[in-house]
Amino acid sequence: MTIVTHDYDDDEALLGKLPVPDEIQEAIRTLIRWSGDDPTREGLVDTPKRVARAWKEYCRGYGENPAIHLRRQFEEVGGYHELVLLKNIPFQSHCEHHMAPITGKASIAYLPRDKVVGISKLARVLHGYASRLQIQERLTSEVAQCIWDHLKPHGVAVVIEAQHGCMTGRGVRTAGVGMVTSRLIGQFLDDNRSRKEVLSLMGY
């Protein structure tokens, strides 16, 4: 069994000074005016470009196939065939309903069949899907299914715990509430002992 507590830092270069089309800038100015402020005042003059570039970065996952991170696999594992768990991976996404932040952590586990991947690749799969407009349920399912389809292990388990800005900053305005979702496939779904083991190691 391998357990990794991971503090993941996205080391990819931030998007550069991309040109922002006039219609995108005007759309953001319209939103600022509709919200009650003046987009021509000093503090907001450059906001449309900043917001547009920020959203291009937030949604960079649309420009990648997360499965590509699982392409390089290793067979020389010294006979190791036990659980591999990457625990407490921080992530950020945005909900597709209000485009509000989703912030949380994920734990990803798989039971190797005959190959493993570098541990950072599991986090990159998570971030690839998280960098799109999401709902937490779909994010959980997409990460698990990607690993299942491309690594072909005996089992996959993904548990995500997150806080949603659409609940904490608007609407019911209830802070400190975490939502937990899980997706278990293969042996982690079919075998009760394996399921209990992986959820216990994840802290659930």
Which residues does the annotation mark as catalytic?
95-98, 136, 164, 166
> Which residue has tokens 């089992």?
155
Determine the Cα–Cα distance for residues 114 and 144; give it in Å rounded to an integer.
Answer: 18
Q: Of 121, 105, 100, whose CA–CA distance to 173 is shortest? A: 100
Q: How far apart are CA 96 and CA 74, in angstroms?
A: 36
Q: State both tokens at 177.
A: 């509430």
What is the pairing mode between strands 133-134 and 2-5? Answer: unpaired
Distance CA 24, CA 39 (A): 14
Query: Furthest-apart CA pair in the chain: how many Å?
Result: 65
Task: Point out which residues pair with 161 in neighbouring strands.
Answer: 105, 180
